[in-house]
Structure 1
Amino acid sequence: MTKLTPRLQTIFEKTKTVCFGRFLVDVPASATVAWGEVDVPLGISVYPDRMDEVNEMAKKFMAKLKSEKAIYKNHVPLLISVEDIVQPEGQIVTGYEDFEAISGLQINGYFRMNNDGVIIDSRPLQDDKDKTIVDIKSIARRLRRLPENEIPTEPGNCIEYAFLPDDLESKEKNQGELIRVGFRLQEFPDTHLSIFVGPSNPHYEDSDSLKWQLEQLEKRLKAEDPNHLQLKTRYLRRGDRQIHDWVGGFEALSHTPDQSEAQPIHDFGMDFRGIPSDPYKPYADIRMQTGVADNVAGATKASLTDEEAVAVWDRITSTIRVRPTSAARAKTAEAEPGPRRPLGELAATGRTCPQTGWWTSDDVKGESQHVKVGDIMPHAITSGEPSLWQKFTGERPIYRTATMWKLVGYDNAPAHANIATKTPVGGTTGERKEDIPPPQKG
């Protein structure tokens, strides 16, 4: 990983863990989270303390369906039915998708979740009408508000403001989950990073990959004009990339050439093919751009240098991981041992340990910790400079810091291992540095 420059060290000194879908990522505490498309498997939108607004949207939706006619259904209104729901309080509105009313429907659920309003939207085929209504009712019953700093421990999906636990009784597992989330760095507002995860396509073609698309673009540009400006794009890094259990990835980190109509920018991309039917190894597309203003790349000068842009990219993307759950830990414990992970494997604080062995970190130089596969990677325990009073009392402040661990040994302890520094492993909900009370003296 590229080292952080002093000004980047400042913004990454305090970080927060963001739950999106079935995954976690660590970003600067000051970063803004911007949610996009969510479909798990139906669209869900939560409106905090805005139930009245949701009721108005429901009325407008019904009025629109009543006012439009289905030309192939004897010109009846597009509105088919309105079902009142008791638990949770709400209603499900069903109508034809458009005036032709041939095959598609639009079915929306409007619900109250305490003081919040919730809309669940879908566009099923008419043959799927009954099943979709059942799914909407199930989602409405399971959905719960998610406090900002809470990381759920049960299987399910984090969305904006809420968490949807899995339906453990359903025989249809993971019908297709799409999550899009973005991050804006407060200190570098022109830097935008986005993550999209969705079902892996069992009919995946090479033409779907970022690698193939870049190669084809370059071939086309060379054929058109060997001196084409885009062919002067400078790549800071380009090649295969792995993020923890996501293998078979490819990344291209580029710096665009100077142009008369736009500022040069960093344009970083990475994608993973994923494994079909495995929601923990989805198709993933990750992007970062600098020089963004008013959602236009190149509208302003990039505030990050090449080295800093790569460092921000590495620091954030390397922390993407599956959110540990009680079910995942039980499954890991029961699993047969697999091939050893190579020495040098990286794992961030809060991630499930991928390999039993000895792990070290730059934050605890000269020391390492033994962590078992399936446990949660711990915080690093470091000592700080004592205050004047602490010097007087003989105490020294101790800090717990989220860090990036590196595998340095297997079952046999390396020579520099220090068992005394091992911290209890378990779920973590934050990525911030915090004081640990000093031990009582006596």
Structure 2
Amino acid sequence: MKTLCVGRFLLDVPAGTTVNPGYVYAKKKVETATGVSTERFRQQVAAREAALAAASHRLGGSMSVSQTRIDEDAVLLTSWVSDTSKAGHRQELYVLDRAHGVRYLVSGETDAAKLPAAIENYRALRPRISYRDPATIPTAAGFCIDSGFIAGNRINSEEMTIGLRPRAYPGARMTLMSYVTGRPDRPLLQRSSDLPPEYAAAQAKMRNLRRGERDVGPIQGQEILAHAEEGGKRMYAFLWESQGRAESLQFPFLSLQLLTEEQAAPAAAFGNDAEALAAWDQVLGSLRLRPGAI
């Protein structure tokens, strides 16, 4: 097993698991690119600036609004959200960590009338973004991103969607989701008498393996674990949710899903129900708030 730092949480997954992360911080999408040299970084920013300047706005002028050089390795580009709008801006903050060749792109939309405030918001965010070796676990308050870290513990609309493909279980995919909620939804078992809509195609042949309350440490949650076997083919659909608490970084909405493709033995992701349940319990049971995260 290896430990992942995702958002403000830790999760243990089988070694060799492919991780496909997606992060949103303060309503801003955060993307990471590795292997980016200083020259390549400057080329990418210049190309984006040129593209925005060359694109025409239907009401006159170009799509480019402004460029703000925050420091030698950070630049903020502001453009119109669309070629017909003069009410909304799109900001793109490019940040380079030269020592590790990592580029961060933080992007979001703001009200055009609030441009000065938006620029200051991104300017204040820039020094809080730093490189993090994916194998290390930080101890300071903050939010882990792909090969990076955003320091701070102010309440904001942060989110994450982490796709997992365990090499040890071919054909199985897991997804961990989290977001700070303003109003927690009803518990999973109160909203659905069976599996959620995304499993509709499989519901007719699914049978519950386990269903009920499932707390993970101090995190209250519920789970529905189902399976089906037909014509020698087996599949699993597992779902756990915690609705969280309003405006809480410690207890956001959390969801873990596991879904397998229909496969005939011995190609099935899991040899039997016991193996599937053990793998699920090992991963879900490891979910915990990172010490010092908030």
Given the two structures, how large is their TM-score scaled by the length of structure 1?
0.59
Partner of 1:76: 61
Partner of 1:302: 268
CA distance in structure 1 between the aligned counterparts of 2:190 and 2:257, rounded to whole angstroms = 17
Deviation at 1:281?
Answer: 0.3
- The secondary structure found in structure 1 opposite 2:192 is helix
Letter of the aligned partner of 1:192 in structure 2?
R
Deviation at 1:185?
Answer: 1.6
Partner of 2:189: 211
Paired residues of 1:229 and 1:257 also in contact (CA < 8 A):
no
CA distance in structure 2 between the aligned counterparts of 1:65 and 1:259, rounded to whole angstroms = 56
Q: Of residues 53, 57, 64 in structure 1, which corresponds to 2:51?
A: 64
Deviation at 1:66?
Answer: 2.0
CA distance in structure 2 between the aligned counterparts of 1:280 and 1:123, rounded to whole angstroms = 26
Partner of 2:225: 253
Q: Which runs of 5+ in 1 are unaligned?
A: 1-14, 168-172, 219-227, 292-297, 329-442
Cα deviation 1:134-193 (Å, max 9, x = unaligned): 2322232121111232111110011110111117xxxxx221110121322222221221
Deviation at 1:103?
Answer: 2.4
Deviation at 1:96?
Answer: 0.5
2:81 is the alignment partner of 1:109: no
- The secondary structure found in structure 2 opposite 1:189 is coil
Partner of 2:178: 197
Higher mean alpha-carbon deviation, 107-116 vs 59-68, is at: 59-68
Deviation at 1:229?
Answer: 7.4
Given the two structures, how large is their TM-score scaled by the length of structure 2?
0.86
How many corresponding residue pairs? 283
Letter of the aligned partner of 1:164 in structure 2?
I
Deviation at 1:283?
Answer: 0.6
Partner of 1:322: 289
Cα deviation 1:86-145 (Å, max 9, x = unaligned): 2x5221110100011242211101122123222111122224433332232223212111
2:242 is the alignment partner of 1:272: yes
More strand by share: 2
Q: Of residues 78, 94, 97 in structure 2, which corresponds to 1:94?
A: 78
Aligned residue runs from structure 1 range 342-381, under 5 A: none
Q: Which runs of 5+ in 2 are unaligned?
A: none
Partner of 1:237: 210
Partner of 2:159: 178
Higher mean alpha-carbon deviation, 62-71 vs 302-311, is at: 62-71
CA distance in structure 1 between the aligned counterparts of 2:202 and 2:90, rounded to whole angstroms = 46
- The secondary structure found in structure 2 opposite 1:106 is strand
Cα deviation 1:208-227 (Å, max 9, x = unaligned): x5435532779xxxxxxxxx
